[in-house]
Amino acid sequence: MQTILTGVRANEEPTIGNFLGAYKSMVNLANEHSANSNINMFVPDLHSFTTPIDHSKLYAQVIKGIKYYIAAGLDANNPNIHIYRQSHVPAHSELAWILDCFTYFGEASRMTQFKEKSEEHADAITVGLFNYPILMAADILLYDAKYIPLGEDQFQHLELTRDIATRLNNKFGEDLFTIPAPEKEQVKFMHLEHGLRIRNLVDPSKKMSKSSENEKTKISLSDDPKAAAKKIMSATTDSEGVIRFDMINQPGISNLLTIEALLTDRNIQDVIADWAGQTSYGDLKRKVADTVEHFLADFQEKVANITDEQVEQVLAKGEEYANRVANAKLAKVQKAVGLIK
Ligand code: AQP
């Protein structure tokens, strides 16, 4: 069976960018493929402190992250859907070390996210931040995952994973790792035209990020629905005066059209056609604000109805599966590199 895998760091409250780029893509794929594919959704909690966080909140955030996966629509009772925590599967860290020794400093140094986050956190650039794409490679390769629903910002890390896996396969045998599909194939698999990047509401040339300190730039999944609607109403647009989908010249308007289409499960081209030629940015904002408000109210109600006991049961099942599969792959790699017979 092929494996489809993704995760969302538990460092801060996730945004609708994370929801649309990762959670919703994964739920759509699970609905389509869970009869004949493993659907692995994990919380990469070891990635959570590659940048500074409040550690006293981490455990609760991880548990909330699991509730979000279930509320987003992943049916944990499905035998092919596996929900687990990275830190509870020690093989992730062990494989990451082995992969480190087959990754060149130069290629890891080229990761643009490392450069960007180093600028943001110039006083705390850790080796963990530098190393995180290699741990991400281990997260993927341990399960032979071919499809990884990700936002556009993560495609460079996916390419690095492919390079590392190809290098080890060339050295130790072609069947060591499944090589994840390249970017274009991933996008096609998600039924998208290009990688998803929900924009920052204040500066739409940037992506929406959960760690942004300015609350106005992002809609978090725990935002009060009415307050979130107000953020949409004050989102930066442009002075063109006509509603068009044009990410280069009208990124703010294009972002609103994208959010509207994805949250209402409509084809983006249909939404663009509905608004084509209209001139009232206020009308578009009111429609998207209403959509966001209703989405958040409904999502938060679902989260509130999931108990900690349910989460424990889901994790017990998911982590038993994950340890079994990951340990078997780790043993194969340990044998290949000469650590065991
Ligand atoms: N703005 C976005 N649009 C679409 N997808 C996005 N993702 C993140 N932001 C957007 C996707 O969410 C998944 C999990 O992300 P992550 O937290 O593991 O890492 P990230 O990419 O660093 O996400 P953030 O929100 O930007 O987090 P911070 O601010 O903490 O660094 C990935 O699939 C990502 O593509």
Nearest CA to ligand 1 atom 22: 209
Q: Residue 146 CA to chain centroid, in angstroms?
A: 16
> Quick one: DSSP state of residue 21?
I
Span 51-73, pLDDT tens digits: 889 999 999 999 999 999 999 99
Average pLDDT, the chain: 95
Give the pLDDT confidence of 8-48 residue by residue, as tens digits.
Answer: 988 889 999 999 988 998 999 999 999 999 999 999 999 99
Q: 221 near 16, Cβ under 8 Å?
A: yes
2-191+307-337 to CATH, choices 1.10.10.1100, 3.40.50.620, 3.40.50.150, 3.40.630.30: 3.40.50.620
- Provide φ and ψ at 172, rounded to 5°: -115, 0
* The residue type at 268: I
Looking at residue 296, the DSSP 8-state letter turns out to be H
pTM for this predicted structure? 0.92
Ligand 1 centre to CA of 276 (Å) is 30
Q: Is 201 exposed, middle or buried (0-12, 13-18, 19+ CB in 10 A)?
A: buried
38, 171, 189, 233, 245 from 79: Cα distances, Å: 9, 35, 22, 42, 41
The span from the CA of 59 to the CA of 36, in Å, is 33
How many helices (DSSP H) and strands (DSSP E) are in the chain? 14, 4
pLDDT of residue 186: 94
Residue whose CB lies within 8 A of the most ligand 1 atoms, among 19, 154, 212, 221, for a mutation test: 154
Q: What is the mean pLDDT of residues 305-325?
A: 97
Strands (E), 27-156: 37-43, 81-85, 145-147
Instruction: Taking residues 234-244, report their average pLDDT.
Output: 96
- Dihedral sign of CA atoms 102, 105, 110, 111 in order: positive
For residue 86, pLDDT beyond 90: yes
Query: Phi-psi category of 265—alpha, beta or left, where left has phi over 0 and alpha has psi -120 to 50?
Result: left
Pick from 5, 9, 218 the residue to mutate for probing ligand 1's pocket: most ligand atoms within 8 Å of its CB: 9
- In the reported structure, the alpha carbon of residue 305 is separated from the centroid of ligand 1 by a whole-number distance in angstroms of 26
What's the confidence (pLDDT) of residue 164?
Answer: 98
Q: Which residues line ligand 1 (CB under 6 A)?
A: 8-9, 11-12, 15, 17-18, 20-22, 150-151, 153-154, 196-198, 207-211
**Which has the higher per-residue pLDDT, 296 or 174?**
296
Q: Class for domain 215-303, per CATH?
A: mainly alpha
Q: Which two tokens stand for residue 285?
A: 């904002």
Residue 196 neighbours by CB under 8 Å, 6+ apart: 20, 21, 25, 151, 152, 258, 262
Q: Quick one: average pLDDT of 135-149?
A: 97
CA distances from 95 to 91, 100, 201, 228, 232 (A): 6, 9, 38, 41, 43
Query: Which ligand 1 atom is the nearest neighbour of the CA of 150?
Result: 33
Amino acid identity at 140? I
Nearest atom, ligand 1, residue 154 CA: 35
The domains of the chain are located at: 2-191+307-337, 215-303
Q: Across residues 217-236, what is the average pLDDT? A: 98
Please choose from 5, 11, 18, 111 the residue to mutate so as to test ligand 1's pocket, defined by most ligand atoms within 8 A of CB: 18
- Which residues form the catalytic set? 117, 207, 210
Express each pLDDT in 258-275 by its tens digit.
999 999 999 999 999 999
What does the pLDDT look like over 22-32, one tens digit per residue? 899 899 999 99
